[in-house]
Amino acid sequence: MVAFALALTGLAQDTQSKLTKQMGLTQNLGAYLPKDVPFKDESGKEIKFGEVFQGRPVLLIPMFFTCKTMCVNIADGLVQTLAKATKSDSLKPGRDLDVVMLSINHKETPELAQAKKVEIFNLLTPPKGRGENVEWRATAEQGWHMLTGTEESVRAITNAVGFKFSYDHRTDIINHPTASMFLTPGGQVATYIVGPTFPTSVLKADTAMAARNEVGRAVDQSFMFGCVRFDKAGKYTIVVENVIRLACVLTLIALGGAILTMSLKERRKR
């Protein structure tokens, strides 16, 4: 059993090595993003990346709109936090911060981006004409940007923030980490958020820090969700970068405990 556990650990390290060669995160705190990179917003309008900065902090979320797994969790996590915050009139997009969802799939279109934005806002607020605060929604929509662009444009931004992902042109497979980053109003990387959840306290603290043009410290990413990819059968598979390693550690602990227990029992019998 010990030999099996050691073999499993070796497999985990090999798997992790292959994954981290394809995707990962380097926290480029303090780096400035290029503002002249061209994109299209959800309406199809051609803009420069710098146009998303309107004197407010920017929450940048690299993702892709047709993803059915972790990207959905990221969007849902952010919506849940912002929905709670609206009750206390805090963290309002278009007033306190801007949200930029950047598609890392250069084949996606503004039409897909617009459909995703409608889906998000129907979760964040009731559909228009059903008793919601129309003014609140209009302001929030102006502060929520869904960008699509060429592979060169996408890479220019993701490289600047240290967001490493792989795209297979032959199979259309995308592997990417689940991470977001706050940018200062001047376009500087202030903080990172690792994982698909956005705790209210973290979101408020990071928004405030970026608004003050301050740069925070690196966050722990030891158990970051690794990527979303297609398997050979064409089904979605969630890969967690360190889950295999964690499972191996737990296996070793369990085996060690079992061996210790058996050893103690033998000693008692003697």
Burial of 68: CB neighbours in 10 Å, binned 0-12, 13-18, 19+: exposed
Query: What is the spatial distance between Cα 119 and Cα 127, in angstroms, rounded to a whole number?
Result: 10
Tens-level pLDDT at each residue, the chain (270 residues): 444 333 433 433 444 445 556 678 999 999 999 999 999 999 999 999 999 999 999 999 999 898 877 788 888 889 889 888 877 778 999 999 999 999 999 999 999 999 999 999 888 875 555 555 677 788 889 999 999 999 999 999 999 999 999 888 888 788 888 899 999 999 999 999 998 889 999 999 999 999 999 999 999 887 666 554 544 444 444 444 444 444 444 445 555 666 666 666 666 665
pTM: 0.77
Query: What is the spatial distance between Cα 38 and Cα 207, in angstroms, rounded to a whole number?
Result: 26
User: CB–CB of 183/210 below 8 Å?
Assistant: yes
Q: Which helix (H) or strand (E) element contains residue 62?
A: strand 58-63
Question: Which residue, among 201, 180, 204, 202, has the nearest Cα to 192 in the 3D structure?
Answer: 180
- Provide the 3-class DSSP secondary structure of residue 129: coil
Residue 196: phi, psi to the nearest 5? -90, 0
* Residue reference for tokens 């969007």: 75
Question: Which residue, among 252, 226, 258, has the nearest Cα to 239 in the 3D structure?
Answer: 226
Amino acid at 131: G
Pair of tokens at residue 58 = 């920017």
The separation between the first and the last C-alpha atoms of the chain, rounded to the nearest angstrom, is: 25
Question: Which residue, among 11, 39, 21, 76, has the nearest Cα to 227 in the 3D structure?
Answer: 21
User: CB–CB of 263/270 below 8 Å?
Assistant: no
Pair of tokens at residue 245 = 């390693």
